[in-house]
Amino acid sequence: MKVVLRTPQKEVRELAGPLTVAEILAELKIDPDGVIVARGSELLTPDARVEDDDEVEIIRAISGGAA
């Protein structure tokens, strides 16, 4: 599967699927509290299964400055 990281710089990683979202984040050592994970126009919960031919995006949710 193709994993596009926007944290916030764009980076592309390839992982062998299927995996759950929780497994993908653990594999990439990303704290699930700091990101949202999308497949197309949908958001995915940690238990969602991602197939080998899927593409998912990991979007960083935490910013440093005050709003």
Partner 1 sequence: MKCSVCGARAQVEVRRRNQAFCAEHYREWFVGEVRRNIRRHRMIRDGDRLLVAVSGGKDSLVLWDTLERLGYAATGFHIQLGIGDYSRRALQTTRAFAAKRGLELLVVDVRESFGLSVPQLAHATGRAACSGCGLVKRYLMNRVAEEEGFSVVATGHNLDDEAATLLGNVTHWQTDALVRQGPMLEARAGLARRVKPLYSLAEREVAAYAFLAGIAYQHEECPHAVGAKSLLYKDVLGRLETRMPGTKQVFLEQYLKKIQPVFKEGLPGAEVELRRCERCGSVTTSRVCAHCKLWERAYSRARKLGLLPEDARFDPRPRLRKIVPDDNPDHSKE
- Is the CB of 43 or the CB of 51 nearer to partner 1? 43
Contact map string, positions 10 to 39, toward partner 1, x by CB under 8 A: ---------------------xxxxxx-x-
| Cis peptide bond prior to 18, omega within 30° of 0 | yes
What are the structure tokens assigned to 27, written together? 């594999």
Q: Which residue has the tokens 């960083």?
A: 60
* Plot region of 11 (φ>0 → left; ψ -120 to 50 → alpha; else → beta): beta
- Is the CB of 23 or the CB of 32 nearer to partner 1? 32
Positions in the binding site for partner 1 (CB under 8 A) = 6, 8, 31-36, 38, 42-48, 59-67
